[in-house]
Structure 1
């Protein structure tokens, strides 16, 4: 008799748990939905950016219940999964901190640019909302400076094209909306490559909009990726478009030198930044490109004087971007224009 009573209780407990789970998803949806609506009204300037709202069960099925085998990249703040949704491969970003709404808003606004990862929709039923993006077959641009994708070292022309296209996306972020938006945390971990090695900028969790009648945002603290952070931002907690320009300059040096943005000294007791490399701090004349460029690139260009000048011009632009004084750095739109010129300096 007791065993029959026990078995009759189990379905009741299960139904209660399912009911509580549904109620929790409903509460999360209402909380996140109200936050999203508020930010949409504030940021979209009356324009419509339709995206689909997915259910939690759809994303759970797409990722096999967020199985670790589906993870592309992870951090304490969010995990990136690859899954199958509506018979297509997608990338799903599941947030764990309260930054998802900002990420959704900016991702939606940036989806019209070909070098920004297109947002397909979101799910508001988790405690931390999840974003659903188009797939990018080659995955993340690695963070260690090797520039190896699918066991293949990216050639110079591809690296230059990636830099040019990223500069275009950042220019769009800075200029295409009613107020400039600063990414604030540009690094290889927020760049995906599609099957044709076309870069897709994403992760706008830390992005900030410069308010009307202001040229910058004064913050209470600074957050950055080590090696890519603007020293002025780190010291004064001031964000502006020039914050992104500095990070882009570091990224350009990584492309040119095939070095990490940070590395240990020979004694392995001090972590150094690439921007502190003595070879980049030559005060008595022009830096010789053969002393700092990736040997793979030097082998590619050989004795071609035009190609060597192209490398020299790219280096000069990168060094201009990482000037300590923000006013000495170019605007992103000028960086983009110069990269177009550099790219076209050698006819195919």
Structure 2
């Protein structure tokens, strides 16, 4: 009798209310599990508010470079990013996971702050602070082909490393991002990086160093050990971050394209190592736009480039044990950044 009454009541609810009830119960469950019942309050926006803010999600409001989709909108007289999900079997769980981790990480200055969410759509929609400069492209720059100064690239790398270190160490159990890539980094008006997209993040179980899960991530950035073993650890993120460092150094996409037009993602790092071995000089792989600023005989700048490369290659070692911990990567980037104070690349 009670079940029939409950069914009757649910059928009387508006469609938006059904979505909110379903999504809200799952969100609450995940918040309790991940935050020990403690978290920052999450503002709830109505579907009508987001529809008005984006002119009914008009294509003219789309933000280029975001995956899967993000729209520019205005709420409470401020620009915001409104992030939607594409329909897929696990899309709801991924959106809620993104909300849960973003809530915990939003106090970090190098994480894209979550302002709230809307549960009244079939899939939860996230509302983030706005980042004026936009999303980094696959070459580590902005827009179609705007390269960033070398000094800016190092600072971005250092600050993103701090955010990942926080993700790994600030909570009772380490959280692994699992999908680190250049286009999950946005820049605000002062070119301060903001890490985002925790949809595929996983938490390491108590008293364990890794967790098994199906392979997810972005080709080109995927740790080969993880691909073969489905085992995720902190070193999985270290590898992907190492690829980001190589993208910053080379100005190249993390994959090659063959003559048939398909992508050979796995060739990027071996290709760079082969160039270094054959040419025996770092200039063979460094972004020409960086080298344009390099004065002949500037040993300080040469040292900085070499040590940045050494760190990137250390992060992308095939042997997990040979990779540094993320906290040590962050410390090393602080040291490397200081080498540029008097160089021609400053």
**Does the pair score TM above 0.5?**
yes
The C-alpha deviation readout for 1:190-241, integer Å capped at 9, x for no partner, is 111111111110010000000101110112x201211110000101101111
Q: In the alignment, which residue of structure 1 is the partner of 2:170?
A: 176
The alpha-carbon deviation at position 124 of structure 1 amounts to 0.7
Q: Which residue of the other structure, out of 39, 54, 61, is the alignment partner of 2:52?
A: 61
Distance in 1 (alpha carbons) for counterparts of 2:326 and 2:12: 47
SS of 2:292 mapped into structure 1: helix
In structure 2, stretches of 5+ residues that fail to align are 1-10
The alpha-carbon deviation at position 146 of structure 1 amounts to 6.1
Matches within 5 A, 1:67-78: 67-73=58-64, 78=68
User: Kindly tell me: are residues 151 and 142 of structure 1, through their superposed partners in 2, closer, same or farther at Cα, counting changes over 3 Å?
Assistant: closer
Aligned Cα RMSD in Å? 2.2
* 1:165 equivalent in alignment to 2:155: no
The alpha-carbon deviation at position 347 of structure 1 amounts to 2.3
Larger Rg: 1
Q: In the alignment, which residue of structure 2 is the partner of 1:250?
A: 243
SS of 1:90 mapped into structure 2: strand
Q: In the alignment, which residue of structure 1 is the partner of 2:339?
A: 345
Higher mean displacement: 64-73 or 334-343: 64-73
Matches within 5 A, 1:1-348: 23-73=14-64, 78-96=68-86, 97-98=91-92, 99-143=94-138, 145=139, 147-149=141-143, 152-219=146-213, 221-265=214-258, 271-272=264-265, 273-280=267-274, 282=276, 287-303=280-296, 304-347=298-341
The C-alpha deviation readout for 1:121-163, integer Å capped at 9, x for no partner, is 01111110011000001111012x1624586421100011111
TM-score (norm 1): 0.88
CA contact (8 A) 2:32 2:38 kept: no
Distance in 2 (alpha carbons) for counterparts of 1:29 and 1:175: 33
User: Kindly tell me: are residues 142 and 297 of structure 1, through their superposed partners in 2, closer, same or farther at Cα, counting changes over 3 Å?
Assistant: same
Q: In the alignment, which residue of structure 2 is the partner of 1:4?
A: none
TM-score (norm 2): 0.88
User: Kindly tell me: are residues 49 and 260 of structure 1, through their superposed partners in 2, closer, same or farther at Cα, counting changes over 3 Å?
Assistant: same
Distance in 2 (alpha carbons) for counterparts of 1:175 and 1:320: 21
